[in-house]
Amino acid sequence: MCDEVEIQKWKAIIRGPPGSSYEDYLFDVSIDVPANYPLVPPTMKFTTKIFHPNVYFSTGDICIDILKREWSPAWSLQSACRAVMSILHDPNPDSPLNCDAGNMLRAGDKLAFDCMAKLYCEEFATKIPSKLLVPLSSSSSSSSSSSSSSSTLSFASASASASASASASASAFHSESTFASASVSLSESVATSSSASSSTTDTFAPEGK
């Protein structure tokens, strides 16, 4: 359910990528879309506590170039979420917001980092139930691949809608029906992924009360 007053506030639910310390965990990320988007990047923060060199632990602020000086109006909210997923798989210890995590990786102590990251995942993140887990690399059939692509881009329509509305005029953000029709809940996304034997890489939905 979207916030009728703050329609520019969104929430992404991102699944930790395979092969990372965050695999099979779900993380909430808040997204504030400014009135002059897409000329200005959205503000994204982890609302789920996470141990990561590029995320400030107490506030959830994310240090990533695409959300700052390298932002382009050609990029969408989907692009921003993909960038966040990329740092979950490949942390950058050279520009850390979390010095403890950065120091572990710079010292080459990957085992210590993985242990700490998984400890915080167990404490704060949402573990995907084992009965709902489907390998992200699943490609046993063309239909499975098609379903996986659809699930992976489950929030693409919302991103495109937000981008088109913002570039037309800031006033377009009050159109609740446009955003409401694009909203997707976590439970629907996971259930759809399970029934189609596909994966849910990330789910994108408006932040609700």
Query: Active-site residues: which are they?
Result: 63
Q: How far is CA 63 from CA 3, 22, 41, 164, 171, in A?
A: 27, 18, 13, 26, 30
Cα–Cα distance measured from residue 164 to residue 26, given in angstroms and rounded to the nearest whole number = 28
In this structure, which long-range contacts are made by residues 104-111, counting pairs with CB atoms below 8 Å and at least 24 apart in sequence? 105/53
Residues paired with 63 in a beta bridge? none
Distances (CA, A) of 51 to 44, 113, 119, 178: 16, 9, 9, 35
Residue 207 near residue 32, CB atoms below 8 Å: no
